[in-house]
Chains A and B, each alone.
Chain A
Amino acid sequence: MKRVGVFVCHCGTNIAGVVDCAKVAEVAKDFPGVEYSVDYKYMCSEPGQEMIKKAIKDNRLDRVVVASCSPRMHETTFRKCVEGGGLNAYFVEMANIREHCSWVHMNEKEKATEKAIDLVKMAVAKVIKNAPLQKATIPVTDRALVIGGGIAGIQAAIDIANAGHIVDIVERDPSIGGKMAQIDKTFPTLDCSACILTPKMVEASSHPNINLITYSEIEKVEGFVGNFNVTIRKKARSVNMDVCTGCGVCMEKCPSKVDSEFELAMSKRRAIYTPFPQAIPNKPVIDRVNCTYFKTGKCGICQKVCMAGAVDYSQEDKFVVTRYGAIVVATGFELFDYSVYGEYGYGKYPDVITGLQFERLVNASGPTMGKIKRPSDHKEPKNVVFIKCVGSRDVAKGKSYCSKACCMYTAKHATLVSEKIKDSNVYIFYMDVRTAGKGYDEFYNRTREQYEANYIRGRVSKIYQKGDKLIVRGEDTLISRPVEVEADLVVLATAMVAQPDAAKLAQKIGIGYDKDDLYTEAHPKLAPVETHTQGVYLAGACQGPKDIPESVAQGSAAAAKVCGLLSKSEMLTEPIVSEVDERACAGCEMCVPICPYTAIEMKTISERVHGKMLERKVASVNSGLCQGCGACTVTCRSAAINLKHFTDEQILAEVNALCL
């Protein structure tokens, strides 16, 4: 027979003001198994905890029930307390008589007391069946993986590497740098983006603890916190990285030209290419889809001109499996495909461009060498119209959220137009101007006052061509008048959206994503870089729209979490996991697909039946992967799987107790 001690807390008057605590303690004495019962003003206080420890010793208690606040508040406190009293930490249960009783039944004192008694009774019934559980230790691999080599990923990798851990950055493009490499200037300081990014890229590539794995993708993620086995597909570069000197002759001689992704189709690149001159690693890859040699088997010019003999057409995709202790997902964003807005004339008018294309137009290393020229006739535009919230804050056609950075980058674009083009006019159609951030609102005001950008509050209903002008028709809702602007160039502030394959990657890693395929953090306020999968962290715009400072901050935050995890060679795991009773398991494999963590595998055991050795398959739970949801327990037809600490017996005991 178990000896249970019941400790009823007054929580000052929070509980005692409604519930008759003395009565609860008195009645609890008669519950089966209860040896000792007492009430006290503050159980969580030092004297309260001492009282519990003393009572355990004096009354030889082996189970404890604390009737007080929510276990979400103080379960850890009391687990430590009973451990200090010499019991297993899991020999304590809490009855929530504050949040679930006294605070919500303030006017029904008698019924609240009755309910408190019931809750204590349930906790007593459960705690009697509590089994001793031990936290296990698992080894931690001292190596981190950063997926995505944009600014967030680079920052995370540098911070982790500086703390002394080995980091691999996997980037699917031929170069790291991400979207920030395409941007011209950064708000609100108008720093040159490349000037602040490229040193970071160089630092990442030359850091002794960082390995760049570019032109590679994540194929498969197995394992669990501390021990992820990640399969990385190294796509065939067709260029031997060890031999290539990066001289660039091959890129000059290559005869096939295609639209450059980096320049957003505003200029051409070759089939053997680096995305941009400052690329890191600055060694080319062959785009096999557009390469004449791969299409026809003829050409081979790049191989002939390469002095180092680095071009190797026979390369194939390689798969490497590496073990990591932690993963940072920093896959960034893509731009919203605004073709759903027919009124903006997507594809019809070459002079309607996106904000990112505009960045390339003003960039000194861009297709126009930094001179703003419209794509159609390369003339300098005089009237430039900006349209904000293209795809953002539009539940019907776009995304419901605000993309956050567009108000600021549009203001930045407006100042750049005014600075670069004399006598230019800027018109900005907006829904709201949202410029929260250090120095942001000041920047916006400067744009309006000093650079005289015309902010027009209203949406654009139509853009159409008239001669070589684009007529932008909309409404100024502040004066309730229709407006028409003759524009030379229209720039759309398109929404930031998740990468098209974001959901697929999330499924590979086993992290959550929302309706917009943005990755979900463990808690929006208190765990903003963690995911629900232990050991996987988020950084940058893959979690939600962010500007550069926020992405960098989140990259550093994720790095801090990774360092915390990797700083120890072993880590403790929560013992509340499923376990299989192999005697009862029929090997039906129903539990295998239901597990969201792929923690259940089938294994073969041999056993002696009637003097013969027989082999059969049974389920086996990987306690490192199991997160303790209990979905498998309900699926098991032979009740062979049980969830520790929430066993069928424990829950049924609670149900029984409630009805006694």
Chain B
Amino acid sequence: MLRKPSRAAPAAALLTALVVTPVVPPEAVAAQARVPVEEFELDNGMRFLAVVRPEMTTVAAGWAAHVGSANERPGITGMSHFFEHMMFKGTPTVGTSDAERDEAIIEEQEALQEQIRAVYRDRRAAARLGHIGDPFGDEDLPEEMATLRQQFDALVDEQRTLMVKDEFDRIYTEAGATGMNAFTSHDQTVYFITVPQNRLELWFWMESERLLRPVFREFYAERDVVHEERRLRTESTPTGEFDETFDAMFWQSHPYSWPIIGWPSDLRVFTLAQAQEFYDTYYVPGNLTGALVGNFDLEEAKALAEKYFGRLRPGAEAPDVVTLEMEQKAGKRLDASCDCQPQVRIRYHTVPFRHRDQYALDVLAGLMNGRTGRLYKTLVLGDEIASSAAAFQQNRKWAGLIEITAEARGEATPDDLEAAIERELQRLIDEPIPAEEIQKVKNQAAASAWEQLDSGFFLLLQLLVYDSLGDWNYMNEWADATLAVTEEDIKRVARQYLVPTNRAVAHYTRKAGTSAEPVPAELADLPEAVQRQILAQIRQIRESTDRVALEGALEQFAAMRSQAPPPMQGAMEYVEQAIRERLAELPSPGEEAR
């Protein structure tokens, strides 16, 4: 464990005298903020990372498969994430009372799904010809489909009579384990839980069993759950769908372009056989890392790892992602309107995980962030055009990006925000960067080097994430590398990466008729779509300087109003009023418009 640092804290005493003194001498960080990881590898190639912490009452335990959405291809997008869900379904002995019949049912279900997929194939063809709309909708469904679905539902019902629902979860829960969960990213899938310190062997049993002999039961019911997750995270959030568009636009050739949760059309049709193939390719011991942080005996843990995970058969080496992102040659722009505050996102391609430029880019982002960061000072406090602004640098396994975002305040537009951000980035290149400002960011890095070790559970996640990105040793290296960054390094990466041809910009503006623009009582009875149209018209009216057109419109409205249905009459009156108000603001005829 870490040695307790000296309480005398000479650095603190110096602070008042010399402002740019680091709050912690860099050598102290290098010497002390280290995570003491015991690393071992099984014969089958699976690696383990262990950190013993006697002060904990539990063991945080987990493993990562070095596979994520970047390893997918069109047709099976979303498979990695779907897998994460399937891994909780059990084994031949966990989750069913009759493994044999269970397996037979799964095969019968698959045969029916193959026929359902054939129907979808026809319906995609019909949709291409314009005969139907959504191939997965209920419009003109062949009768055959109803029969297939009925047969399938009958099998689901039968399977359910054999199933021990969510038994995988139940076994852990009953043992006092907590926080069982998993997540999927572009580059990894991570499974984790916290177990009471005397139940460590249960973790080894459960995790090795589900890796050794997983059963993908409830494949199709789980697909519906993932659809709900997609609705929740993407389709029901103010900017979700556009964020997806922005990703697809930003990444030209790299598989980072599709969403982790997958395209809906792929989710509808991928097959159990494809899932099995994916599993056999990527869930091999050499592509897995296990980790334990907490109160346990290291030698026992090693023996248990060998006993349980040693059973996994070594497989072929998992394939690399070979498609490289094409160098961007032209700027890209996206304009979207949503139920959201006007905002801007500016992105540049940077570098992958542990690239030597990562640390200078991190410091660059650090200069931008925080209440004393350049973005807050300029956009929020100085120009008062933003209510918030931030930068983040993300270095994924195969490629990286830096993104700056800001939300508009008052009448400011995304254009204003974009211009101000560009000015700030240019200043990094054109003007000297004060030493104190760089030191501030380094001080924060020094503090983070310790803070990252604080929570046992968080430490576990970091080890698994960094190891599946390339190397867990990053945890012990990044702070030193960051403390070594110079002003010239920062300017160099700014000049190299923050260039217009390497940039993608998204402007989000508020959709007409949405909440921030109150719907006046005169329009309240109308359908929302009509409200939106009218509000858009009114905005046009308020911006119009064409007296003749406005007067013409006024006459037309007055003539039409008497024939309009009652709910529309009030609305038309409202529009007429807006036209009159606008006319009153405009210079009268003959007066020179400015």
* A, B bound: no
